[in-house]
Structure 1
Amino acid sequence: MGDDSARKRKVRGRKIRSDRSKKEGRKAKKELARKASAARERNGDSPLSPPEDVVPEPFVETDAVASVRDRTTGWLEADQPVHLIGPTGCGKTSLALSAAAERGRPVVWLNGDEAVDTAALVGDHAGGERYTEDDRFVSGVSKQTEIVRERWVDNPLSVAVREGATLVYNEFSRSDPAAHNVLLSVFEEGVLERPGKRGEDRTIDVHPEFRAILTSNDVEYAGVHRQQDALLDRFVGVHVGYYDGETEREIVASHVDLPDEAVSTVVDATRSLRDDLGVVVGTRAAITAAKGLAVFDGGADDSDVSGDIDDELLTEVFTDVLSPKVAGAADAEDGAGIDTVDDLRADIADAI
């Protein structure tokens, strides 16, 4: 009898040790899963992009373009956030991405609009993780514990600040200024506060390699907000205007396969319209018009497009490209003097 009891105690002892071993194994697996999840958040599932992946294609680099980009990268080296300001369609975004890639650091992209708030910048709780631990430490007794852990997801600003990335904040002035209060401590004290985040990691120390490039349209454009002076004082502003004619010709030619004469005709018309019309006529409009001519003048084969473009066709193409800008122009500040598409067509014909 005694021998039998001893044998049972031994068996039970082995069982307890086996249960402990399994429990420790489960804990180890959970810890590995958490680490893997964190790694994915910081790498594959994060907004981080390698610098070589953000270089605009195509990107034309003339002396004029290189000069503005070198000013931008120079200010970044001086640890100053750069605010690229200029009219729509002048190439601010491409310039910002090119300057960011030049640094050789990861890049984080953020596009501004009315929906951007503080949480969209720094992060927010994304639901909770709920799981049950089943404890069978004592044979025949089961104890279940339900554990709920809130899951926090970092958004672009937090990722860029922590990883020392270059933040490219496009259309910065289209976001509500209230969302940008968190940037004050980033640029002044080198600390990012994450409202809604609890515990010791509520704040992030700004990585010494973190830099920011912001782009905005000129203040007279519709849909932009005046940002707080305390924040604007911490930026340097680099104005990006329309490039010279030769640069614009190279940019258009890099996007559309047209004869040089046709490209020159489009760019010359664009520059004339820019001076004569009451609407914004950017380099982007020249690219779009060239793409239209490649279809309407030469059909599907771009090589059939002639260098001698009919003025009437050029007028119709630019009317199509620019007519969205005069929709409701009678009630808007831009487009002054152009009330209808017919008015626009007449003005384009006169300029061409």
Structure 2
Amino acid sequence: MIERGRRSRPFYVPVSTEVAVFEAAYRQGLSILLKGPTGCGKTRFVEAMAHDLDRPLITVSCHDDLTTADLVGRYLLRGGETEWVDGPLTRAVREGAICYLDEVVEARQDTTVVLHPLADHRRRLPIERLGVTVDAAAGFGLVVSYNPGYQSVLKDLKDSTRQRMVAIEFGYPAAHVEEGIVVAEAGVSAVYAADLVRLAQAIRRLETGGLREVASTRVLIAAARLTTEGLSPRVAARAAIAGPLTDDPVVSRGLVEMIDIYLPEFLA
């Protein structure tokens, strides 16, 4: 996905020094590793930084089947002729865009090795099939993200990759900040946003193996937005929070009970 020419800045509220670290690393040509749980704002942060730095943003959602060719490019047959088509990473290198690899450890490990000459002082992308090496254009930036708590031992970044990057740690924001985010993103009242955040904090304190993830800021926004369509807070939370977080019927019942405790049946 390529994003260009945004008219307004994506909504993002800084919670620590992440903006200063990102901008300093970008100016120095250093690659950036964003670490944090799902739904805590990593992607929105990159979008905001690309806007502030006035750079196009190319986003790649990584997955198990992502190959080096998917990133770098491949020959394709078009109109009876074979021609080379750049992949998203190559386009970013040539155009001086920011390339964001979301959940990079989901890609095959042999795929991430191609990042090494880009992520260190060389800032070059070897394209073996073309027999060329492309120097990164001015403005190019490499940003990757992953969720350390979710990954298994078999799915982790190589140390050789990590040490080529500047790491920025993300977590869920303080309560008052998270409440403000929910209000701004969903257009709901501060009172209801505070209720949602208190619910999320209670879920995050749970210690159970039945939860796939804890309640993220993202699911709170989704629940809040459902209420703007007329759903009650409890119905919205069951659909946007409890449902996505677990398939375990016992844990699900526990989450529904928490929802009924923390959220009103109807908005005032």
Query: For the superposition of Structure 1 and Structure 2, which TM-score range results when normalised by the shorter chain?
Result: 0.7 to 0.9
Which of 11, 15, 25 is matched with 1:64 structurally? 15
Which of 186, 196, 207 is matched with 2:129 structurally? 196
1:199-214 to structure 2, matched below 5 A, reads 202-214=132-144
Q: Are the counterparts in 2 of residues 54 and 97 from structure 1 also a CA contact under 8 Å?
A: no
Aligned to 2:222: 288
Give the Cα separation in 1 of the matches to 2:135 and 2:187: 49
Comparing 71-80 with 316-325, greater Cα deviation is found at: 316-325
SS in structure 2 of the partner of residue 84 of structure 1:
strand
1:31-180 to structure 2, matched below 5 A, reads 49-52=3-6, 55-56=9-10, 59-61=11-13, 63-64=14-15, 67-127=17-77, 130=80, 150-180=82-112
1:259, distance to aligned residue in structure 2 (A) = 2.5
In the alignment, residue 242 of structure 2 is paired with which amino acid? L
Matched pairs, number: 256
In the alignment, residue 282 of structure 1 is paired with which amino acid? S
Aligned CA distance change for structure 1 residues 50 and 341 (closer, same or farther; 3 Å) = closer
Give the Cα separation in 1 of the matches to 2:153 and 2:65: 13
Aligned to 1:345: 256
Q: Are the counterparts in 1 of residues 119 and 142 from structure 2 also a CA contact under 8 Å?
A: no
Give the Cα separation in 2 of the matches to 1:207 and 1:296: 49
Q: Which runs of 5+ in 1 are unaligned?
A: 1-46, 131-148, 298-312, 330-337
Give the Cα separation in 2 of the matches to 1:291 and 1:223: 36
1:48, distance to aligned residue in structure 2 (A) = 5.0
SS in structure 1 of the partner of residue 77 of structure 2:
strand
Aligned to 2:177: 247
Comparing 247-256 with 317-326, greater Cα deviation is found at: 317-326
SS in structure 1 of the partner of residue 60 of structure 2:
strand
Give the Cα separation in 1 of the matches to 2:119 and 2:96: 13
Aligned CA distance change for structure 1 residues 97 and 269 (closer, same or farther; 3 Å) = same
Aligned to 1:181: 113
TM-score between the two structures when normalised by the length of structure 1: 0.65
- Please tell me whether residue 319 in structure 1 is matched to residue 254 in structure 2: no
In the alignment, residue 216 of structure 2 is paired with which amino acid? G
Give the Cα separation in 1 of the matches to 2:119 and 2:245: 37
Aligned CA distance change for structure 1 residues 272 and 128 (closer, same or farther; 3 Å) = closer
User: Higher relative contact order by CA 8 Å / sep ≥ 6: 1 or 2?
Assistant: 2
Give the Cα separation in 2 of the matches to 1:112 and 1:54: 27
Structure that is richer in helix per residue? 1
In the alignment, residue 190 of structure 1 is paired with which amino acid? R
Q: Are the counterparts in 2 of residues 190 and 205 from structure 1 also a CA contact under 8 Å?
A: yes
Give the Cα separation in 2 of the matches to 1:193 and 1:219: 32
Q: Are the counterparts in 2 of residues 270 and 281 from structure 1 also a CA contact under 8 Å?
A: yes
1:250-265 to structure 2, matched below 5 A, reads 250-265=180-195
Q: Are the counterparts in 2 of residues 113 and 175 from structure 1 also a CA contact under 8 Å?
A: yes
Comparing 79-88 with 257-266, greater Cα deviation is found at: 257-266
Q: Which runs of 5+ in 2 are unaligned?
A: 264-268
SS in structure 1 of the partner of residue 205 of structure 2:
helix
In the alignment, residue 324 of structure 1 is paired with which amino acid? P
1:231, distance to aligned residue in structure 2 (A) = 1.2
Aligned CA distance change for structure 1 residues 223 and 233 (closer, same or farther; 3 Å) = closer
Bigger Rg over Cα: 1
